[in-house]
Amino acid sequence: MPEPLIFEKSSPERKGYLFPSLDVPIFENSLSSEAAREDLPLPELSELDVVRHFTRLSQENFSIDTHFYPLGSCTMKYNPKIHDELASLSGFSDLHPFQPEDQVQGALEIMFQLQNLLAEITGMDSISLEPAAGAHGEFTGLLMVQAYFKDKKESRRQVLVPDSSHGTNPATAAMAGYEVVQIPSNSRGGVELESLKQSLSENVAALMLTNPNTLGLFDENILEITRLVHEKGGILYYDGANLNPILGIARPGDFGFDVVHVNLHKTFTIPHGGGGPGAGPVGVKKFLEPYLPVPIVKKKKNSGQEWYYLDDHYPKSIGKIKAYYGNFLHLVRGLAYILSQGAEGLKRIAELSVLNANYMKEALKKYYDLPYDRMCQHEFVLSAKKQKAYGVKASDIAKRLLDYGFHPPTIYFPLIVEEALMIEPTETESREMLDKFIRAMIQIAEEAEKNPSLVKGAPYTTPISRVDEVLAARKPNLCWC
């Protein structure tokens, strides 16, 4: 039985709290409780009813703490609870951004250390911690690219984006005022070099590239790609959403990228989903440092002691792109994760994420179509083309997975794969969990062949089954009355 709406559970005059009668006069122009109830009808329940209602609702959700969450391109790894505890310490959570520097030296040191560690991990020279998420980091990076070419008095109006890119890449480029030029993929799932060569000109400001890309494949021609773009004076932008499988193994800066954004809420176990908040620090090579958002945390000697301070003396800076200094408590979590892992631990994370993805891919490829049958990185993309022959689509498979107790993978993305199922197990899942998911996927493939109507009618175990998704998207009913 679905949990009723809280308004349906309401009972007239029932209260969660009883306050003592007023022993002072009520001001004549005050809003009485009766007037408030008439203007804004609220459900009337006891405290116990409210607690039970929202507890039951929370138990109907899928979450990383309760379920395997193979959401491709999102790196839904487990978020260690000790990092939440550290971020909740009063010395961090009670800080105010306007406190003087001498009262926040510890916080500034955390930001300084994180800047340096992210620069080392990505192969960049400087880092800004301000951006609030990955797409915000992308926009920050392109604003710096614009400022750089404006400084050089060059008018470059195009940004190249592969057809396997995240949707935020072309959206960000368009938002920054650029003309977006799409580059197709080759038969191996990488950038088509001939098309890239034909698209490159002195009008190209940047190429935005995810590597490994959204197919989960490391581009075999990455050094040639960066060489070609640099030869035309363009800038290489690295979308860091898929940084997880190359941690400690390869650095974007070493294979030619000039700007990088890092998703702390993916690679570095910051909780995400449900709208955020995220954290998307941006790193740059030396020639782009003058354009970084301000302020940047610096260190100097003050009376013989180390002193951390906020430096906003960047005359060519693109300015502030977020209030204050970034989502600070997420920076605490990110630093805690990096320090707890160390260099070897980060490399082990990458190795295990790649191992898990390839283990799962090999187990499933004979039951589903695999458009790019080569070693993947942290994720892989199957196609439900085989199942479509029986009338079963990727969305049907996703809904059927709910009955098996799994959150579905990403579907219909990337767009270049028909009936795409994009699966990312992350390094935090055990072999037992991977095997359980594999068995469910195989079972659904068999159901699709032998009893397709069963899969097409799923889910059967959730509080609400199928809804009119098109109607819900175009005409959402947000009113409870």
pLDDT at 340 over 90: yes
CATH-assigned architecture of domain 81-341: 3-Layer(aba) Sandwich (3.40)
CATH 3.40.640.10 maps onto the chain at: 81-341
| Cβ-contact 112, 308 below 8 angstroms | yes
The pLDDT score that the predictor gives to residue 274 is 62
For residue 38, what pLDDT is reported?
Answer: 58
Residue 116 has pLDDT above 70, yes or no: yes
pLDDT tens per residue, range 345-380: 999 999 999 999 999 999 999 999 999 999 999 999
pLDDT surpassing 70 at residue 273: no
Alpha-carbon span 193 to 183, nearest angstrom? 9
Beta bridge partners of 182: 161
What's the pLDDT tens digit per position in 135-188? 999 999 999 999 999 999 999 999 999 999 999 999 999 999 999 999 999 999
Strand, coil or helix: what is 36?
helix
Comparison of pLDDT for 17 and 465, the residue scoring more: 465
Residue 112 confidence (pLDDT) above 90 = yes
- Residues 69-94 have pLDDT tens digits of 999 999 999 999 999 999 999 999 99
pTM above 0.95, yes or no: no
**pLDDT, tens digit, for every residue of 418-473?**
999 999 999 999 999 999 999 999 999 999 999 999 999 999 999 888 888 888 88
Q: What are the residue ranges of CATH 3.90.1150.10 in the chain?
A: 350-472
Burial of 296 (0-12, 13-18, 19+ CB in 10 A): buried
Q: Which pLDDT score, from 0 to 100, does residue 28 have?
A: 64
The confidence score (pLDDT) of residue 348 equals: 97
What is the CA angle 278-138-113, rounded to 5? Answer: 60
- Per-residue pLDDT at 29: 59
CATH architecture of 350-472: Alpha-Beta Complex (3.90)
Q: Which helix (H) or strand (E) holds 148?
A: helix 134-151
3-class state of residue 107 by DSSP: helix
Query: Mean pLDDT for the chain?
Result: 93
Q: How far apart are CA 146 and CA 257, in angstroms?
A: 16
Tell me the backbone φ, ψ of residue 126, rounded to 5 degrees.
Answer: -145, 155
